[in-house]
Amino acid sequence: MLAEKKTKPLSMLTREIKSQSIPAVHLTDKVYQVLQLMNDNQVTHLPIIEGETFVGIISENDLLQADNDHAVLRELQQSFAEFSVKEDEHFLKAVQLAGENGLSIVPIVNEENILTGVVSYETLLKEASSFMSLNEPGGLIVLEIESNSYSFNEISQIVESNDAQITQLNTSNNIETGIMTVTIRINKAEVSDLVASFQRYEYSVKYFLGEEMYENELKTNFDNLMSYLKI
């Protein structure tokens, strides 16, 4: 029987990879001040808060188009973008969001829309490379299941029935929702048949990465992800 392998802790939820060094700005901050902060932190976006509540993202391009560099951000509110991820979401959601929208940072919020952190483009790239072991052969599949339905034996049997073996398996449990995220590395890159098998067993396949991908609702997400990782 294959033992569940957890070779090292891997960050899976966005709250585990947030940075404390990237600042948030306020509606009363002036354009030139925010541009200076972007330059100091080598980013082209910053999150905006009112009190502790997240109200949006402002981009360097929007600031440079302002008529007055002493204008306050409140005057540019029509330019704010409302991109963010929840702190209990899988960090690949942040990768996807950044890739689809060309973001240099992704704000992280809680259920009350309070800004709890920020993750940068560079950090996402490093985390994705480490998390997916991109320098190693094989495929990756991320499942979501109810915690009380998790069975390592069943998952390993599904994998082995597709002539593959689990090389690494990590789990993360959301206590509030009762949903467990299961990330599986396997020793073969052709994952489409295995993804189909998990779907037949009514597993929720959230992400996958492999050489063979077929047309279903997940392919677009991973095309975006791979394009982002190649930037």
Q: At what angle do helices 219-229 and 121-132 cross, to 10 degrees?
A: 110
CA 205 to chain centre: 15
Residue among 82, 87, 93 at smallest CA distance from 59: 82
The CB density around residue 124, as the number of other CB atoms within 10 Å, is 27
Tell me the average pLDDT of the chain.
Answer: 84
- Please enumerate in sequence order all residues whose Cβ is within 8 A of that of 38, keeping only pairs 6 or more positions apart, or say none: 44, 45, 46, 60, 63
Q: Which of 112-116, 159-163, 181-185, 226-230 has the lowest mean pLDDT?
A: 226-230
pLDDT in tens, 19-49: 768 999 999 999 999 999 999 999 999 999 9
pLDDT of residue 39: 95
- In the numeric block, the tokens 């009112």 are attached to 50
Degrees, nearest 5: CA angle 192-129-162: 25
**What is the distance between the alpha carbons of residues 59 and 121, in angstroms, rounded to a whole number?**
14
**d(C-alpha 44, C-alpha 72), whole Å:** 18
Given a contact cutoff of 8 angstroms between Cβ atoms, the answer to whether 121 and 104 are in contact is yes
Answer CATH for 14-127 from 3.30.70.20, 3.10.580.10, 3.40.50.920, 3.40.710.10 = 3.10.580.10
Q: What is the mean pLDDT of residues 119-123?
A: 87
- Per-residue model confidence as pLDDT tens digits over 142-164: 899 998 999 999 999 999 999 99
Q: What is the pLDDT of residues 182-214, one digit of tens each?
A: 989 898 888 889 999 999 999 999 888 776 544
* pLDDT value, residue 68: 94
Predicted confidence band of residue 223 (pLDDT cuts 50, 70, 90): low
Instruction: Convert the pLDDT of each residue in 73-108 to its tens digit.
Output: 999 999 999 999 999 888 888 888 988 899 999 999
Q: What are the residues whose beta carbons fall under 8 Å from the beta carbon of 72, sequence distance 6 or more?
A: 27, 28, 29, 30, 31
Band of residue 65 on the pLDDT scale cut at 50, 70, 90: very high
Residue 3: pLDDT band (50, 70, 90) is very low
Reported pTM: 0.61
Helices (H), 114-216: 121-132, 152-161, 192-200
pLDDT in tens, 165-174: 998 888 888 7
Is the pLDDT assigned to residue 14 strictly greater than 70? yes
pLDDT at 114: 96
Single out the residue of 102, 98, 104, 34 nearest to residue 66, CA to CA: 34
Task: Give the whole-number percent of the chain exceeding pLDDT 70.
Answer: 83
Distance CA 59, CA 191 (A): 38
Q: What is the dihedral of CA 11, 13, 14, 17, to 10 degrees?
A: -20
Per domain, the residue ranges of the chain are 14-127, 133-229
CATH code: domain 133-229 is 3.30.70.260
